[in-house]
Amino acid sequence: MSSISYKTISKIAGPLMFVEGVENAAYGEMVEIKLINGERRQGQVLDTRQGLAIVQVFGPTMGLNTSGTSIKFLGETAQISVSDEMLGRVFDGLGNPKDNGPKIVSKNKVDLVGSGINPYSREEPSEFIQTGMSNIDGMN
């Protein structure tokens, strides 16, 4: 985990925070946001360019301000612990239980974004797919 916290928030617009003077932030990197009252929220880097990081705040932005809020870049993407204990459970977008059940504790973690699909690794379609639209079906 990075130990550098930034207090160089230049603007908060809706769910977005604009943080200046940031070096080495990466797309998809998770952040921890600390309010003046000690409350903590999470967010994720959506864009970086020329020392500016645009961060999406997960949760409300009420209580956040440009002068008293600090932000720490965690150096990792969003990950979720996975196990068989997840079956039948309800989770939020970050993998936190929403059903008042116990937190999932597992050594197995996977990236929430996953990896991209390589279109060249797929089998080439060979069967006709009928769409019901004659101008499209005529090209098959």
Task: Tell me which of 125 and 92 has the higher pLDDT.
Answer: 92
Q: Determine the Cα–Cα distance for residues 113 and 118; give it in Å rounded to an integer.
A: 15
Mean pLDDT of 106-127: 82
Mean of pLDDT values over 10-20: 95
Q: Where in the chain is the domain with CATH 2.40.30.20?
A: 5-77
- Quick one: pLDDT at residue 72? 96
**H or E segment and range at residue 136:** helix 134-137
**Residue 2 pLDDT:** 54
Is 5 in a helix, a strand, or coil?
A: strand
In the predicted model, what is the mean pLDDT of residues 55-83?
Answer: 91
Sequence-ordered strand ranges (E) for 14-124 = 16-20, 29-34, 40-49, 52-58, 70-77, 79-81, 109-111
What pTM value is reported for the model? Answer: 0.73
Residue 106 has pLDDT above 80, yes or no: yes
CATH classification code of 5-77:
2.40.30.20
- Most confident by average pLDDT, 40-44, 75-79, 107-111: 40-44
**Rounded-to-integer distance, Cα 97 and Cα 49, Å:** 35
